[in-house]
Amino acid sequence: MYKWIAKLDRGLESIERVAAVGLYTLLIGLICINILTRNILHWTSDALLALSPTVVLWLCLVGATLALKYHRHIKIELLLRFLPPAAQRLATSLTRLFAMVICGSLAWASVIFVYGEINLSGQRGWLAICFPLFFSVAFFRFGCDLLRQWGHRESEEP
């Protein structure tokens, strides 16, 4: 079963990489179009200006999920260094389990938030779907780390 989860994780990583490049390209395009229309046509689009922060948010959250994949996220491990290996393993497991609970709870809460945004803003509210997606992927990544830590090694994958 773990091989299937690892394959899903690799596929998800590929999608995240494509999304990151696409979002970055979109952001650069939006900024360039805004600069050109402002300087050449003396016209600025409020829609483009409003969309840019949303694209930045999406890009940050996609980057954060990739950081989770490679363990490049911010961790507070000062006390872990002083624990014996068995206690380190237990503390790390508990931390990952706690992160899963938090991310799962926030994924559910953010689904409710998105429904509220859709009711409030109409179709534009769908742009907030990045929050439940992010927390769901973070939940999945912490779960993968927990499985790996409990003895399922990547070396067992095909």
Whole-number pLDDT of residue 118: 95
Nearest to 129 by CA among 144, 143, 116: 116
- DSSP 3-state of 88: helix
CB 51 within 8 A of CB 29: no
Helical ranges in 41-158 per DSSP H: 46-69, 85-121, 130-149
Residue of higher predicted confidence among 150 and 158 = 150
Q: Count of alpha carbons within 13 Å of 8, Cβ hemisphere only?
A: 10
- Give dist(CA 60, CA 133) in Å, integer: 13
Whether residue 78 has pLDDT greater than 70 = yes
Whether residue 153 has pLDDT greater than 80 = no
Q: Count of alpha carbons within 13 Å of 107, Cβ hemisphere only?
A: 14
Query: What is the pLDDT averaged over residues 23-29?
Result: 96
Whole-number pLDDT of residue 1: 52
Whether residue 155 has pLDDT greater than 50 = no
